[in-house]
Amino acid sequence: MSTDDYPLSTNGIVKNYGPKTTIGPISMNIGKKWIFGFLGPNGAGKTTTIRMILGLSKPNNGSVTVFGRDPSKDPERALKNIGYAPELPNFQTFFSGEDLLNFVAKLYRLSTSERRTRVRELLEMVGLRDHAEKKIGKYSKGMVQRLSVAQALINDPDLVIMDEPTLGMDPAATIYFRDLFKTLVSDGRTIFISSHQLDEVQKIATHVGMINKGKMVFQGTTPSILDAFAKDYSIEVELETINQKILEKIGQLDYIDQVKVINGKVQIKLKEKRDLRATLAEDIIKNGGRLLGMALNKATLEDAFVETLRGEIPILEKN
């Protein structure tokens, strides 16, 4: 595939912020209908990379292609099809949420009737209908984040780039937006999201990439990354009753390394990194166990993140 086949490609982009701070070179190809989770510790270079992608900050080297165009050379055309929700949006506090959306809609040259419909739809979509006329200065943190997502969708973009969009959202809103992002993607869009909420990213991202000190340290499909960082596989088993006899029987199976009971569930470590749930289920039933449920545990994105930074003190790099 050529880079034109990807909604978004970066080819060795570099930003130099002085002798000690270099972000890049970063190369990535983001495919259609992906949700790409962009991870990295504070100061790693996520926002800088996003700003280079959008043409808001010119790379010192390398190039960006968004739908076949370079946003820094032809911003108006390249950005027509992109939505952007910035980190810590700094909206005019004397605007209401509705004013802000109307303003952004005008920038995108939506007609008056399109604007009216779109603004109403988006306020509804992000749950701000009842706060449409309230001044942004009086919005809560989560409301500002919701508005930021809404303004990113005003032009019905094919690529949506969001820098920490669910930061400050309550748990119900987080779940709602998780579903909203999945719907946007199933309708054919592509989402690029930077986040520190690793459990959230693990739930929605089809692909992840992590940067550290300005360099990409891993990227791939979410399952392949979780697999690569898994030291072992374990299966969590829920039984109707746990007794010594069944635990011993499980422990004697040739593919089992260790059996422990934690919080009323049996945690079974496997000798190999293989999904042996079906075999284990059969063996438990054969040995008289009454199985209520089981789940395979590989690594988590948190494991991958922490493992990558192992040995590094989590303080900010000096510039």
Ligand X SMILES: Nc1ncnc2c1ncn2[C@@H]1O[C@H](COP(=O)(O)OP(=O)(O)OP(=O)(O)O)[C@@H](O)[C@H]1O
Nearer to ligand X among residue 144 and residue 239 (C-beta): 144
CB of residue 149 vs ligand X: minimum separation in angstroms? 17
For the segment 70-109, give every residue that binds Mg ion (CB under 5 A): 87
Judged by beta carbon distances under 5 to 8 A according to partner kind, the member of Mg ion, ligand X, none in contact with residue 131 is none
Give the residue from 213, 265, 264 showing the smallest Cα distance to 235: 265
Q: Are the C-beta atoms of residues 151 and 104 closer than 8 Å to each other?
A: yes
Q: Which stretch binds Mg ion (CB under 5 A): 46-54, 60-68, 96-104, 288-296?
A: 46-54
Q: Does 151 bind Mg ion (CB under 5 A)?
A: no
Maximal CA-CA distance, the chain: 73
Question: β-strands 291-297, 35-39: how paired?
Answer: unpaired
Residue 15 contacts residue 23 (beta carbons within 8 Å):
yes
Q: What are phi and psi of 240, to 5 degrees?
A: -60, -45
CB of 17 to ligand X, least distance (A): 4
CB nearer to ligand X: pick between 45 and 83:
45
* Cβ neighbour number for residue 172 with a 10 Å cutoff: 9
User: Which of residues 57 and 155 has its CB atom nearest to Mg ion in the complex?
Assistant: 57
Closer Cβ to Mg ion, 155 or 166, answer by number: 166
Please say which residue, 196 or 271, places its beta carbon nearer to Mg ion. 196
Q: Does the protein bind Mg ion through residue 148 (CB under 5 A)? A: no
- DSSP letters, 94-109, are TSBHHHHHHHHHHHTT
Q: How far is the CB of 197 from ligand X (least distance, A)?
A: 12
Does 49 bind Mg ion (CB under 5 A)? Our answer is no
Q: For ligand X, which is the closer residue by CB, 42 or 252?
A: 42
**Burial class of residue 231 in the structure, from the number of CB atoms within 10 Å of its CB (0-12 exposed, 13-18 middle, 19+ buried):** exposed
b/e sequence 287-317, b meaning 16+ C-beta within 10 Å: eebeeeebeebbbebebbbeebbeeeeeeee
- Number of Cβ within 10 Å of residue 21's Cβ equals 16
Write the DSSP symbol of residue 314. Answer: S
Least Cβ distance, residue 44 to Mg ion (angstroms): 8
- Interaction site with ligand X (CB under 6 A): 17, 21, 23, 40, 42-48, 87, 319
Looking only at residues 25 through 44 of this chain, which bind Mg ion when binding is defined by CB under 5 A? none
Region 267-286 residues binding Mg ion, contact defined as CB under 5 A: none
C-alpha dist (Å) from residue 199 to 48, 142, 203, 222: 23, 19, 6, 12
Which parts of 86-243 are beta strand (E)? 159-163, 190-194, 207-212, 215-221, 234-239
Q: At closest approach, how far in Å is the CB of 166 from ligand X?
A: 14
- Find which of Mg ion, ligand X, none residue 289 binds, CB within 5 to 8 Å per kind: none
Task: Out of 10, 47, 65, 155, point to the residue binding Mg ion (CB under 5 A).
Answer: 47
- State the binding partner of 43 from Mg ion, ligand X, none, CB within 5 to 8 A by kind: ligand X
48 interacts with Mg ion by CB under 5 A: no
Binding site for Mg ion (CB under 5 A): 46-47, 87
